[in-house]
Structure 1
Amino acid sequence: MRAVRTRLYIILLAGFFAILGSTMSKSPTLPLYAQSLGLSRGEIGLIASASTVTGIVVNFASGLLSDIYGRKKLLSISGFVFLSAPLLYFLAGDALTLALVRAYYGIATAIFVPVSLALISDIYPDKKGTFMGILSSATLVGRALAPLLAGTLIYFAGFWTVFLLCSLFGLIVFGLTFTFPDTGRELQRVELSFSAGLLIIGLLDAAVYMAYQGIETFLPLFYYLQGKAWLSGLILTVEISVMAAVKPYAGYLSDRIGRTKPIIAGMGLVGLAMMIFAFSSSLPLIVSGAVLFSVGASVSEASTKPLATEISELRGAALGFLESIKDIGQALGPVIVGFLGFKAGFTFVGVFGIAALLIFTITFKSLKTKG
């Protein structure tokens, strides 16, 4: 029992440092560093999207490769990228090289997230929802701490301290991956078939992250938050904190009562939150919407990922596919809200999520899983 607990702690520690370092390198570091190089806002936007584009491609590939070659080998590769990528910032002097660095850095997260979740599913098949939720919370804590730590270091010591510290965190992750058990290897040769079920689950996650990125991007621009960057930052911190607190309990609930009911409840809350954002006229409504979204997203996502591993024999490929679809939704969120406006944009995202939920409930009604 002690060995099992120690193994979990090591995976959680690796997840914390992996996301802490990768988030520090971009928030608020990336736009400030790019600005110091004399780059335009348009160039900064394209550079920021480079790692997301990488994730869309690499997530699925890394999950599939972990089914063939094992989780440990892929996670060690991601650890090496976490270690080496921050040092490449010192060589970046223009938009192209900085975009290439971001694309390379994106490989690390695109490998680590789906493969570490697949590893959890391998080791703890009966408690995968609970422990996936705990791992997600560990990464969220790292994500929440990163901007404050990076911003403080930039203010007092400059960019070089951030990049070196990110590399140090990557070294820790790289070292920890060698202690991971070597699971996976379910696939002897590549024989893939299309899964409509996985696509539908992926649409649910895409809707959640479409909403998440839309909120994160445009929250500071609501008229009663303009000029109050500290307040919008506080609301986003509360949002992440609620997600980190709820996910382990949501995962435990999913293990106990099945996957379908939490997904329905969670996506319902996400849809309601989007309507609040679309038609909000006061700060209390915005805060309420942020909290409802955090709870709903946590409850839904704590069930979608375990469910994906239950309807597919290739757990790594299934989770990688979900991450790729999620990244597409995350990339589209700000575009949709930006072009349609707050009212129509957030309404569209909410309706998209509810539509995906309706398709899910019809499709999975007769599916014989734990739900």
Structure 2
Amino acid sequence: MTTSRSFMLICTVGIFCFISYNMVRMPALSLFAESLGAGPERIGLIVSVSTITGVLLKLPSGALSDIYGRRFLLRIGVVAFGLPPFLYPFITDLDALTALRFLHGLATAIFAPTALATVAELYRERRGAALGTYTACTQSGSLLGPFLGGYLIHTAGFDTAFVTAGVFGCVAMVLFYSLHLDVAVPPRTNEGARAVLSEMWKGFAAVVKNKKVLITSVTDAAKMIANGALMAFLPLYGLSVGLNPGEVGMLFTVQAVTSFFSKPIMGRISDRVGRQPLIILGLGICAGTFVCIPYVAMFPVL
């Protein structure tokens, strides 16, 4: 398979994977947990547990892909996208849902860093443009997933939404397994996993010692905490003010569309005026919208 076809394959697989994942994650997950009797604290835990998987496994996944090859990790990743959605209709208690979310989190934890590394290897000379294109493809999945999930919940129920998400994931599996991804397997060395993990730790330590990077990371973490709260509780708030699940899903889609189109524009502006002013502006907008949400009940305004 040529480089361009390999790139098209991984972009297409990424679209289907992230449609599937986001159909389950927003707004379905919070609403499904509430239907099983979860309170606010448990809903927050259930929504966040897949992120915990990512925090624990993304760095090791990248290191393992350096040892065993990109294809091996990507195979595991697409399976983690495709199969778990079919298990959600059989969930009847919150402990099982929490465990399933931890398992489903393996999908992004394994697939995401490995796919990015694969794209970078396919286009060593033009990796910036290639990574941008791949990221745009996965974001398109984030655009469609919440809307499709919310619409299906509203019109056909949770089971239909989950099974449809599984179908999208299985399409990604079939595409990936039926076509040969042309990525070189890294040469095995005698150093083994310990040496790779040691280098990974050295890189982590270097980041921690860089104050600018550390401050930026902490700032982004604070923003992600707010975004996680929005992901968990906006669906519940939307229903409480009279919205249906389809409209709640559309809210997340609108948010993703805004992010999709504004990122390249803001990137160019930051090259001209600097990073700090836009970081402060973005955090201010984030905080301001959170303050306003409790006072807004109409769908067009939300």
Quickly name the TM-score band, shorter chain normalised. Answer: 0.7 to 0.9
1:183 shift after superposition: 3.1
**What residue ranges of structure 2 are gaps of 5+ in the alignment?**
293-302
The root-mean-square deviation of aligned C-alpha atoms, in Å, is 3.5
Alignment of 1:134-153 (within 5 A): 134-153=133-152
Q: Which residue of 1 aligns with 2:9?
A: 10
Q: Which residue of 2 aligns with 1:245?
A: 261
Relative to structure 1, the CA distance from residue 37 to residue 218 in structure 2 (aligned partners, 3 Å threshold; closer, same or farther) is closer
| Preserved contact between residue 18 and residue 170 of structure 1 (Cα < 8 Å) | yes
Q: Percent identity?
A: 29
How far apart in 2 are the matches of 1:116 and 1:144?
19
1:177 shift after superposition: 2.8
Structure 2 residue matching 1:185: 3-state secondary structure: coil
Instruction: Output one character per residue of 1:302-327: Cα deviation in whole Å (capped at 9) or x when no partner.
Output: xxxxxxxxxxxxxxxxxxxxxxxxxx
Q: Which residue of 1 aligns with 2:183?
A: 182
| Partner amino acid, structure 2, of 1:243 | S
Q: Which residue of 1 aligns with 2:220?
A: 208
Structure 1 residue matching 2:183: 3-state secondary structure: coil
Deviates more, 1:101-110 or 1:202-211: 202-211
TM-score, normalised by the number of residues in structure 2 = 0.76
How far apart in 2 are the matches of 1:244 and 1:185?
33
Structure 1 residue matching 2:165: 3-state secondary structure: helix
| Preserved contact between residue 3 and residue 182 of structure 2 (Cα < 8 Å) | no
Instruction: Output one character per residue of 1:182-238: Cα deviation in whole Å (capped at 9) or x when no partner.
Output: 3352563121231244445576355335325525645999xxx99697999877645
| Preserved contact between residue 147 and residue 249 of structure 2 (Cα < 8 Å) | no
1:244 shift after superposition: 2.4
1:281 shift after superposition: 12
Structure 1 residue matching 2:71: 3-state secondary structure: helix
1:249 shift after superposition: 8.1
Q: Which residue of 1 aligns with 2:116?
A: 117
| Preserved contact between residue 121 and residue 183 of structure 2 (Cα < 8 Å) | no
Relative to structure 1, the CA distance from residue 263 to residue 149 in structure 2 (aligned partners, 3 Å threshold; closer, same or farther) is farther
Q: Which residue of 2 aligns with 1:273?
A: 282
1:270 shift after superposition: 1.8
| Preserved contact between residue 137 and residue 243 of structure 1 (Cα < 8 Å) | no
Instruction: Output one character per residue of 1:154-174: Cα deviation in whole Å (capped at 9) or x when no partner.
Output: 111111111111111111222
Relative to structure 1, the CA distance from residue 268 to residue 183 in structure 2 (aligned partners, 3 Å threshold; closer, same or farther) is farther
Instruction: Output one character per residue of 1:125-174: Cα deviation in whole Å (capped at 9) or x when no partner.
Output: 11111111111111111112111111111111111111111111111222
1:271 shift after superposition: 2.3
1:241 shift after superposition: 2.1
Deviates more, 1:267-276 or 1:114-123: 267-276
1:86 shift after superposition: 0.8
Determine whether 1:22 maps to 2:21.
Answer: yes
Relative to structure 1, the CA distance from residue 281 to residue 6 in structure 2 (aligned partners, 3 Å threshold; closer, same or farther) is closer
Relative to structure 1, the CA distance from residue 280 to residue 47 in structure 2 (aligned partners, 3 Å threshold; closer, same or farther) is closer
- Of structures 1 and 2, the one with the larger relative CO (CA 8 A, separation 6+) is 2
How far apart in 2 are the matches of 1:150 and 1:235?
12
- Size of the aligned set, in residue pairs, is 271
| Preserved contact between residue 146 and residue 253 of structure 2 (Cα < 8 Å) | no
Relative to structure 1, the CA distance from residue 37 to residue 229 in structure 2 (aligned partners, 3 Å threshold; closer, same or farther) is closer
| Partner amino acid, structure 1, of 2:279 | V
Q: Which residue of 2 aligns with 1:81?
A: 80
Relative to structure 1, the CA distance from residue 80 to residue 141 in structure 2 (aligned partners, 3 Å threshold; closer, same or farther) is same
Alignment of 1:24-173 (within 5 A): 24-173=23-172
How far apart in 1 are the matches of 2:120 and 2:50?
26
| Preserved contact between residue 12 and residue 138 of structure 1 (Cα < 8 Å) | yes
Relative to structure 1, the CA distance from residue 279 to residue 138 in structure 2 (aligned partners, 3 Å threshold; closer, same or farther) is closer
| Partner amino acid, structure 1, of 2:52 | V
Deviates more, 1:230-239 or 1:166-175: 230-239
How far apart in 1 are the matches of 2:254 and 2:119?
27
| Partner amino acid, structure 1, of 2:183 | D
1:91 shift after superposition: 2.9
How far apart in 1 are the matches of 2:32 and 2:290?
36
